[in-house]
Amino acid sequence: MKTANILELESFFVSEKVENYELIRRIEQLEKENAESRLAARESMRKCEAQYKAMLESVDAHMTLVDRNLVIQWANEKAKKNFGHDILGKSCCEALYGKKELCCDPSSCLTRQAFRNGGTVRRRSMKMKDKNGTGKYFEGTARVVSWDDDGKPSVVVKIYKDITGRKLAEEELRNNMKQMRKNLDGTIQAIARTVETRDAYTAGHQRRTTDIAGAVAYGMGLSKQVIDGIRMAGVIHDLGKISVPAEILSKPGQISESEFSLIKQHPQAGYEILKGIDFKWPVADIVLQHHERLNGSGYPFGLKDEEILLEARILGVADVIEAMASHRPYRPALGIDDAFEEITMKSGTLYDPDVVDASIDLFTKRGYQLH
């Protein structure tokens, strides 16, 4: 007959076996669940990678992944098709720019800048070579997408969008604009020569006045756009004098009041000739207003102050300086000092003070001389 102690011991062992069995079963179950989870994770990762790859391939841009050594680790099909299917394992300098060595100037390298900054770097235009050696233009972005255990950038994704068509269109537009400007300049010069055939003094006066006005505008810090408009108008600002009889323009001595009234019509006559031409500057209005004065005493409309274009105010002062300093059929040259006295004494009354100051500075401080 078993004692109580033996029965208790047997019960303990049975219980221990049951617990060990349950523990083993539980461990096996957990291992199975882990295996299933890993399998599911791998399947999920495979699907994600497939979706990610499909997404990258659908992007209408050339994409590459570049490591810290500037070696291309991955490229989408668009990049391979354009730069060659053998670009993997090559440096981006060789694969994209046709260089056998790495770029010697790190500041010019989009990838190096991204690694150095640890962020995103963009460039509006860069020229690269396709697999045939043809130069193409791209808009580029380089962005860090992976870091190592020390937190340093390890992989950069480079995205290039082909803008060759746009660049070529822009270049064609620039060439067309240059040609149009050349044609316009030729037209203006032809008009100026038309005046010259009737009155050599007027032609020389227009050229010298234009030079003074352009230099004054530059000294005032005006934009190239405004200066170009002033120069364009200056070359033909007395175009309207072709409507004035040549004998009046070249008449020696004092002219009569009726003759002067004919001369005073030349701004309006010039405006009527020019108003139909599609300049990108207010050339016709500058020509119309170059004899207007701040106090309203000018002609043809008696405009005052800000009613007069700044370009016309500049041209008006330059016109006075050249006219007084140069010889005319009806009088000898009065000289530059008399011209300075005229514009200084009437600064703020007839002439724009800022223009007067800039005109005097042009001759006294910047050493300008009439030619």
Q: Which residues pair with 351 in a beta bridge?
A: 347
Decide: 116 and 83 in contact? Cβ < 8 Å: no
Q: For the segment 272-306, what is each residue's pLDDT rounded down to a tens digit? A: 988 888 888 899 999 999 999 999 999 999 999 99
pLDDT tens, position by position, 116-126: 888 888 888 88
The long-range contacts involving 267-271, CB below 8 angstroms and separated by at least 24 positions, are 267/240, 267/291, 267/299, 267/300, 268/240, 268/300, 269/239, 269/240, 269/241, 269/242, 269/243, 270/236, 270/237, 270/238, 270/239, 270/240, 270/241, 271/240
More confident residue, 234 or 280: 234
Lowest-confidence pick of 158-162, 188-192, 266-270, 273-277: 188-192
Question: Which pLDDT band holds residue 128 (cuts at 50, 70, 90)?
Answer: confident
> What domains are there in the chain, each with its CATH number?
58-162 (3.30.450.20), 198-364 (1.10.3210.10)
pLDDT band at 260 (very low <50, low <70, confident <90, very high): confident
More confident residue, 270 or 255: 270
Environment class of residue 288 by beta-carbon count within 10 Å: exposed (0-12), middle (13-18) or buried (19+)?
buried
pLDDT given at position 183: 77
- DSSP for 32-90, please give it: HHHHHHHHHHHHHHHHHHHHHHHHHHHSSSEEEEEETTSBEEEE-HHHHHHH-TT-TTS
User: Is the full-model pTM beyond 0.75?
Assistant: no
Average pLDDT, the chain: 82
Say what the pLDDT of residue 287 is. 95
Classify each residue of 222-237 as buried b or exposed e, where b means 16 or more C-beta atoms within 10 Å of its C-beta.
Answer: beeebbebbbbbbbbb
**pLDDT the model gives residue 15:** 58
The mean per-residue pLDDT over the stretch 54-76 comes to 79
Three-state DSSP class for 147?
A: strand
Q: Helix 224-235 crosses helix 310-325 at what angle (to 10 degrees)?
A: 50
pLDDT of 229 higher than 60: yes
Distance, in Å, from the CA atom of 271 to the CA atom of 98, rounded to the nearest integer, reads 58
Task: Tell me: pLDDT of 71 over 80.
Answer: yes
Phi, psi angle pair for 350, to nearest 5°? -100, -35
The gap between the terminal CA atoms of the chain, to the nearest Å, is 142
252 prior amide bond cis, ω within 30:
no
What are the tens digits of pLDDT across the range 156-180? 888 888 888 888 888 888 888 888 7
Radius of gyration of the chain (CA): 41
